[in-house]
Amino acid sequence: MIKIYSFIFLVFFASVGNSQGVVFSLDYNNLNNGFLTESELKSVAGYDIWADLNGNSSIVEDSERGKCHMVKYPKGAVGPSTSGSQFLKDIKPSNEYYLDYYVKFNEGFDFQRGGKLPGLTHDGSKWTGGTDPTNGEGWSARYMWLDDGEMIVYLYYVDMPTKYGEPVRLNTKFKTEEWYRLTQRIKINTVDSFGNGNGVLQVWVNGVQVVNRDNIRFKIGNTGKIDSFYFSTFHGGSSASWAPDNTSYISFDNIIVSTEKPNFADTSINEATSTSNWQNFYGYEVDTKFNLEFNLTAHNSLMDGVVGISSGGVSEYPNLSCIVRLNTDGKLDSYNSNTYTSDAEITYSEGDVFHVTMEVNPISQQYNVDVEKNGESKIRLATNYGFRNSTTMLDTWALKSEQGSFTVSDLVFGENDLAIDDINNIAEFKVSENLNNNALTILYNGSVQNLQTTINVYSITGSFIESVDVDIVNGKNIIYLNSVSVTGLYIIKLENKLGVNVSKLLKR
C-alpha cells in the first residue's frame, strides 16, 4: 500500500470540534458581554434546558478564545446552590457520545479541597452526591479538580468502589491562566454480568489520551443510555472546608457533544511557544520518508526544552521519537537511540534563530537534523540517529520547556524530496503490480505534459536497485521496473530534470 503525504501544515488546539455528528454545541459569540441570565443562556443553548446560574455567570472577552462563559465561585461558598453555576441539557439517548470543551482556571483560583466540572450523564444529577447506582439504572461522568489542581473523572457507575464513586485519575495537574481542552468518550456497555462490563471511558487532555477504560458497567438491562449533558460546577463537597478562601473564577468555551471523535487538528495556526506543559500538534499519519522544517527562536540563554515528533500525543519525554533539545549547557543536541548527543557543537543564546530541517525515515527508524543558525551555513547536528520511541507511523509534533522558553514557527511538514512543479501542482503517479512479467508498473498522470525524468528504485535501507530514464510525452507514460519483485518494501524516487522530485514508499 502506498500512502502519499504532500502537505504544508501547522496545528494548534482546535477552536471547534468535528462538525459531523454534532448533537449539541454551545459557544458564546452571539451573546453580549456582562452578566449572563438563564433566559439569555437558553437563547443559545435551547429553551428546553434547566438552568440555575446562581447569579454567578458572565460573558467575558478572553484574549485567546474571544467570548466565553466565566463562572464565579464566591469566597466561602460551597455546593451547587451558592457556588458556581448549573444547567442541564437533554440530548437524544444514545449508547455512545463524545463531549469536548475548553476550560481555564483564572488567575488566583483557589482549588481548596476540590470541586466539580461538567460531564455526560444518564438522568442528569440523579446519580451524583452519594446516590449509589447499584441497580444499574444510571451513572454520571463529571470531572473534578482536587486540591493541587489534579484532575479526575468523578465516575458513578454500577460497580463503583465507594459511596462517592471512583476517582479516575487523569494524571494531569491544571495550572491557572492556561486553556485546557477536555474530551471524553462514553460508550455504554452491552454486557451486564458482574465483572464483565465492556463499557468504555476515554479521556483526552489537549488531544493527548490520558484514560482508556473498557471494563465498566454503566447500566443493567435496557436503561442507562447517555441522555444528558450536565453543566455542573461548584466547590465541594458539602462542608465549609471545601469553600475557597477567595472569590475565584473558571472560564468555559466551545462545548460540543457529538457522535464522532473531535478533530484535534487545526491547520490555521503557524506558531507555538513552549511552556512547562506538553503541547501536542496533530497532522496527517506519515509512514514514509518526510522532512520537517521549522524556525526555532530561543528566548533565553540557558534553557531546558525539546521539540520533537511522535506517534500519538506526548505526555512524557520517552513518547518522542525524533528530538531536538536546547540543553542546559547552552548547546543543541538530539536523541540517538538511548542518549542525547550531537555530530557538531551548535551553541544558542537569547534571540538566536535556527532553521531546523529534520529528515525522518519511519521505516528504518532513523533521522537526520540540519541546522542553520541566524542565516549562516547549514550544519549537520544528527546523522542517522535512531528513534527514541520505536514506531513506523508518526502523526504528532510536540514541544515543552522545563526552563526558559522558545518559539517554533513557519513549520513545513512534507514528503521527502518533494518539490512543486512549474505550475504549482504536485506530480501524480499511480503505482501497481504487473503480475504477468513480475514487474512494477508506474502510470504518470501529472500536470506536466512533457517531462524527462529518471526513476530510481532503492531498498528501505537505501541500497540502489534499478534506474530507468523516461520521457513523458503528452502527460502520460507507463514505466516497467523489471528488477522489483512482487513482495517487499521499496522506495521509488522520481528525479525530474526540471526540478520535480518525488519519493514514495512502495509496499508490495
- Least reliable range by pLDDT among 440-454, 460-474, 489-503: 489-503
The CATH number given to whatever domain includes residue 473 is: 2.60.40.3080
Cell numbers at residue 193, please? 454480568
Q: pLDDT at position 452, please?
A: 57
Is the entire prediction scored with pTM above 0.75? no
Residues 47 and 185 in one domain: yes
Residues 225 and 312 in one domain: no
For 371, the domain range is 271-415
Residues 363 and 481 in one domain: no
- Least reliable range by pLDDT among 51-60, 361-370, 439-448: 439-448
Residues 335 and 192 in one domain: no
Distance CA 116, CA 114 (A): 7
- Residue 299 in any domain: the answer is yes
- Residue 264 in any domain: the answer is no
* Spatial CB neighbours of 162, under 8 Å, sequence gap ≥ 6: none
- Residue 420 in any domain: the answer is no
- Residue 1 in any domain: the answer is no
Cell numbers at residue 261, please? 471523535
Residues 148 and 81 in one domain: yes
User: 91-108, pLDDT tens digit by residue?
Assistant: 999 999 999 999 999 999
Sheet of strand 501-507, all strands in order from the earlier edge strand to the far edge: 464-472, 451-459, 489-496, 501-507
Residues 223 and 280 in one domain: no
Which three-class secondary structure state does DSSP give residue 75?
coil
Task: Report the chain's mean pLDDT, rounded to a whole number.
Answer: 80
- Residue 56 in any domain: the answer is yes
Residues 350 and 461 in one domain: no
Q: pLDDT at position 7, please?
A: 26
Distance CA 453, CA 501 (A): 9
Beta-bridge partners for 22: 258
- Residue 40 in any domain: the answer is yes
Beta-bridge partners for 218: none
Q: Are 349 and 332 in contact (CB under 8 A)?
A: no
**Is a pLDDT exceeding 90 seen at residue 340?**
yes
DSSP 417-477: T----TTS----EEEEEETTTTEEEEEE--S-SSEEEEEEEEETT--EEEEEEEEEBTTBE
Higher pLDDT among residues 327 and 453, named by residue: 327
Distance CA 117, CA 229 (A): 11
Q: Are 290 and 397 in contact (CB under 8 A)?
A: no
- Residue 47 in any domain: the answer is yes
Q: pLDDT at position 21, please?
A: 85
Q: pLDDT at position 462, please?
A: 54
Residues 129 and 37 in one domain: yes
Of 383, 415, 447, the residue that ends a domain is 415
Query: Beta strand pairing status for 501-507 and 489-496?
Result: antiparallel
**Is a pLDDT exceeding 80 seen at residue 52?**
yes
**Is a pLDDT exceeding 50 seen at residue 273?**
yes
Distance CA 498, CA 475 (A): 15
| C-alpha angle 272-275-280 in degrees, rounded to nearest 5 | 55
- Taking the alpha carbons at both ends of the chain, their separation in whole angstroms is 7
Residues 401 and 462 in one domain: no
Which three-class secondary structure state does DSSP give residue 394?
strand
The CATH number given to whatever domain includes residue 70 is: 2.60.120.200
Q: Are 27 and 312 in contact (CB under 8 A)?
A: no
| C-alpha angle 147-143-86 in degrees, rounded to nearest 5 | 100
Higher pLDDT among residues 62 and 191, named by residue: 62
* Spatial CB neighbours of 173, under 8 Å, sequence gap ≥ 6: 148, 149, 150, 151
**Is a pLDDT exceeding 60 seen at residue 426?**
no
Q: pLDDT at position 139, please?
A: 93
Of 381, 415, 449, the residue that ends a domain is 415
DSSP 24-62: EEE--TTSPSEE--HHHHHHHH-TT-EEE-TT-EEEEEE
Q: Which of 421, 392, 404 is nearest to 505 (CA)?
A: 392
Distance CA 41, CA 251 (A): 15
Higher pLDDT among residues 19 and 192, named by residue: 192
Of 384, 415, 446, the residue that ends a domain is 415
- Residue 216 in any domain: the answer is yes
Residues 121 and 35 in one domain: yes
Q: Are 284 and 377 in contact (CB under 8 A)?
A: no
Q: What percent of the chain has pLDDT over 70?
A: 73
DSSP for residue 202: E
Residues 240 and 305 in one domain: no
The tally of domains found in the chain comes to 3
Q: pLDDT at position 206, please?
A: 83
Beta-bridge partners for 212: 202
Phi-psi map region of 312: left, alpha, beta (phi>0 left; psi -120 to 50 alpha) = left
Q: Are 73 and 60 in contact (CB under 8 A)?
A: no
Residues 200 and 285 in one domain: no
User: 284-310, pLDDT tens digit by residue?
Assistant: 567 677 888 899 999 999 999 999 999
Neighbouring CB atoms inside 10 A of 35's CB total 12
